[in-house]
Structure 1
Amino acid sequence: MMDFLSSLGSNPYFGAGFGLFGLGTLAAALRKGAQLGSMLFYRKCLISMEISSEDKAYSWLLHWINACAASETQHVSVETVYQQSSGGKVSTRFRFVPGPGDHFIQYKGRWVRLHRDRDKQMVSLQHGSPFETVTLTTVGRNADYFSRMLDEARTMALQQLQSGTVVYQAVGHEWRQFGHPRRKRPLQSVILDEGIQECLVTDVREFISTSSWYVDRGIPYRRGYLLYGPPGCGKSSFITALASELEYGICMLSLSEQTLTDDRLQHLLNVAPLETIILLEDVDAAFINREEQHPDMRVAYSGLTHVTFSGLLNAVDGVASSDARLLFMTTNYINRLDAALIRPGRVDVKQYVGYCSDYQLKTMFSRFYPNASPVQAVAFQRKVRDRYPTDSISAAQVQGYFLMHKYDAESAIENIDKLLKKQP
């Protein structure tokens, strides 16, 4: 046996092979040790945070990085902001965010590795776009580091939103911000008949401030309002100004939308963003009074919407209806609405918003011409009534007339014949 081992030791091929085996074993051990050390370092010395594209903080973070660390990201993706005015004018601008892959940014004295991953095989059911995640990794053990980063991103996003009234539109099964925040409209800019505005604002504020009262008594914490009256009298304008006053957003939903179903309506009302007004405009266009509905009318209206009347009732006031909800509905023809829809519990406040009263004519005049005297406001009101004793005049018509005489109160009084003159 000893002779055999001695012969192997003197064999140069065996010696070389044994040496290679030893080097391979050592290399494998070093590689395994490096992997183990890397894993331990990653677990003990690094902290990571992952955010999916389904989370609101996802877009906040990308836009914050674009604003604060744009020079440190070399590979970017483009988001095109496209706007078209009612007159047809088109404006576009480009917004750059970190593209898919790895990026390194510096925050609070630390380097952060940002990895944006786009899954080409998974698609978001809400957005219809590829599912994405962003993973942030840095040295440390305390998650407060990322909390401060998210707080800054959130603050920046909310500052942009709070600069105006945010309008949401239903897309699929979620609410998405529609365009940029609208310029806030002062409540004083909407002139309703005397006492109406104050009454509605007081009621809404009381509802918002008494959530515990509803909870203590086991009453669903939601309130519904119906504003009805002729078109152009200020229903939608008041709701917009009210949202600005309360610093609420507006969720616009059309019941006549072809893709809207009972289930989708129920879901949308339940996932509406907090501190928003849900607005259902022209509800009479989707449903008509069942008691007065002629069989031929059922056929004519059947194709307008996929939402059933019972589905709407359940969404507004059913078992699965959400709490903490502020719902406004508008209609030009209240007599077309079914009594079941506007009963107490579904509609708690019904308010008529009609044609201009004498109070509105005088107040609107003073609003448009702050330097005019009260005597001129009364003169304008009397001249309107003398010239149009039987005509109904909407606030939109008066506003349009004032826009033709922006800076001349006397001209607005003297040319009253043109108030209801139809434009060619």
Structure 2
Amino acid sequence: DGGNANNNGGDNNNNAAGLKESTVTFLLRSSMPDASRRIDEFVNRAFKSYQDAVIAKHKKDKSRYMYMSAPTPPSTEDGSATSGVQKYKRYGLSEDKTFESLFFDEKKALMDLLDNFVNKSGKFGIKGFPYKMGLLLHGPPGTGKTSLIKAVAQYTRRHIVNISLAKIKTNQELMNLMFDLKFGLDGEDMPVTLGFDKIVFVMEDIDCASNVVMARDDMIANSSKKSTKSGQTDDDDDDADLVTLSKLAGISSGDVLDLHKLIGPSNNKMGGRSFGPNDKLNLSGLLNVLDGVVDSPGRILIMTTNHPEKLDPALIRPGRVNKKLMMGHINAKQTQLMMQHYFQCELTDAQKTAVIDVFANTAKDFSPAQIEQLCAEYDDVVQMLDELAKLCQIV
């Protein structure tokens, strides 16, 4: 057997750096009776060797990343995407944000929950108990929701995959993002493959990202007038289900169409409702991804919102959300702990009392981010306490 190689070099005019792209063409020949089989086997072995080398390189990389989906590639005439793997942008995660620099009342309870989850102990060690975790973080801006996400990822040694509901159009697209676990990157011939046990999925500000998460009663009340004018028809079986559901919820028959829009039509079922080629993203599709028939052992999902009262109860019920954390304004005790962390000293009894007095004598609320900024601005505890007292006097 033998082979020749031709090297046809060419400039890549689209590369601003003036890099050259080379194409190497191998001509394989064989005079053996089973030449075709021999050449095919050789090519397959070579390709397998290359794949193994790429996979080994991915495994060798111990860095953690945040993955954000890139725009979906254009579709072909038959509706299929030109590439079978979703493209992502990824950004390196630092090790700076940890639980040591976070101060909230339920920190120990959350860390104990994470320990049990990672070690499959406690309830997570019981056969049949769902091995997945859902967290809902809520509270005003600046209270540490994003910092807590980073800390959870750092503590569990996982990557972060950001899921933006605002960019997702169909239930199938959401299903692909949450279950394919293959991350195509520019400059990489093969996608990075990660397991559920290596990822923290994040849906930030879900109340702002999509209406599908909103409470159905509120959505129906806001759009009932529109439904009477739509002239829209639905499948008979789905209408029957919706009428039953509307009676249970105390919804008038005129609002059934809007309820159908929120829950979604039903075609080919995968543990819930439809995942057809044109099925618009809806609450049913989201709920099916969270805990449908397709399992996701080891998955951590964190959702954040500023308005938990606006979310549909089905989205955040027990079983889908293991723990709800209110990330509120900082209090005196948390301020003391933060000061001791950043100033690397133990506060005196007088300084602790000064912090307590400041919070006791003001109606002003402070976010953890504000107190953290004061700790960064001043090198001396006394100076920071003086500035904190001044801020509390400002109306």
Under a length normalisation based on structure 2, what TM-score does the superposition of the two structures give? 0.62
**Which amino acid in structure 2 is aligned with residue 283 of structure 1?**
I
Q: Secondary structure at the match of 1:390?
A: coil
Contact 2:343 2:375 in 1 (8 A): no
Partner of 2:380: 408
Partner of 2:152: 242
Residue 264 (structure 1) shift: 0.7
Contact 1:261 1:307 in 2 (8 A): yes
Partner of 2:370: 397
Q: Secondary structure at the match of 1:416?
A: helix
Question: 1:299-354: CA deviations, max 9, x gaps?
Answer: 7x999x95211111111112235333211111122111111111122112222222
Partner of 1:168: 67
Contact 2:137 2:145 in 1 (8 A): yes
2:204 equivalent to 1:281: yes
Contact 2:135 2:301 in 1 (8 A): yes
C-alpha distance in 2, partners of 1:395/1:357?
A: 9
2:333 equivalent to 1:359: yes
C-alpha distance in 1, partners of 2:55/2:18?
A: 18
Q: Secondary structure at the match of 2:218?
A: coil
C-alpha distance in 1, partners of 2:13/2:111?
A: 43
* CA separation of 1:192 and 1:176: change in aligned 2, threshold 3 A: farther
Partner of 2:116: 206
Aligned ranges for residues 6-405 of structure 1 at < 5 Å?
Answer: 38=1, 41=2, 99-102=21-24, 157=58, 160=61, 162-163=62-63, 165-171=64-70, 172=72, 176-194=87-105, 196-210=106-120, 217-257=127-167, 259-272=168-181, 273-274=194-195, 275-285=198-208, 286=210, 287-293=213-219, 295-296=221-222, 307-371=281-345, 373-375=347-349, 377-379=351-353, 381-387=355-361, 389-405=362-378
Larger Rg: 1
* CA separation of 1:216 and 1:296: change in aligned 2, threshold 3 A: closer
**Which amino acid in structure 2 is aligned with residue 261 of structure 1?**
T
**Which sections of structure 1, spanning at least 5 residues, go unmatched?**
1-37, 47-72, 81-92, 104-112, 116-136
C-alpha distance in 2, partners of 1:291/1:95?
A: 59
Residue 375 (structure 1) shift: 3.8
**Which amino acid in structure 2 is aligned with residue 166 of structure 1?**
Y
C-alpha distance in 2, partners of 1:280/1:372?
A: 38
Contact 1:266 1:315 in 2 (8 A): yes
Partner of 2:271: none
Q: Secondary structure at the match of 2:161?
A: strand
Q: Secondary structure at the match of 1:356?
A: coil
* CA separation of 1:153 and 1:309: change in aligned 2, threshold 3 A: closer
**Which amino acid in structure 1 is aligned with residue 89 of structure 2?**
F
The Cα RMSD (Å) is 4.3
C-alpha distance in 1, partners of 2:354/2:46?
A: 64
Contact 1:193 1:359 in 2 (8 A): no
Residue 358 (structure 1) shift: 2.1
C-alpha distance in 1, partners of 2:328/2:102?
A: 11
Residue 191 (structure 1) shift: 1.9
**Which sections of structure 2, spanning at least 5 residues, go unmatched?**
29-38, 73-83, 182-193, 227-257, 263-278
Contact 1:401 1:419 in 2 (8 A): no
**Which amino acid in structure 1 is aligned with residue 169 of structure 2?**
L
Residue 146 (structure 1) shift: 7.7
**Which amino acid in structure 2 is aligned with residue 253 of structure 1?**
I
Residue 293 (structure 1) shift: 3.5
Question: 1:274-306: CA deviations, max 9, x gaps?
Answer: 21001111222223212234533677x999x95
C-alpha distance in 2, partners of 1:95/1:374?
A: 62
Residue 208 (structure 1) shift: 2.9
Contact 2:103 2:337 in 1 (8 A): no
C-alpha distance in 2, partners of 1:323/1:231?
A: 32
Q: Secondary structure at the match of 2:318?
A: coil
C-alpha distance in 2, partners of 1:221/1:240?
A: 21
C-alpha distance in 2, partners of 1:375/1:174?
A: 59
Contact 2:165 2:206 in 1 (8 A): yes
Percent sequence identity over aligned pairs: 24
C-alpha distance in 2, partners of 1:214/1:372?
A: 37
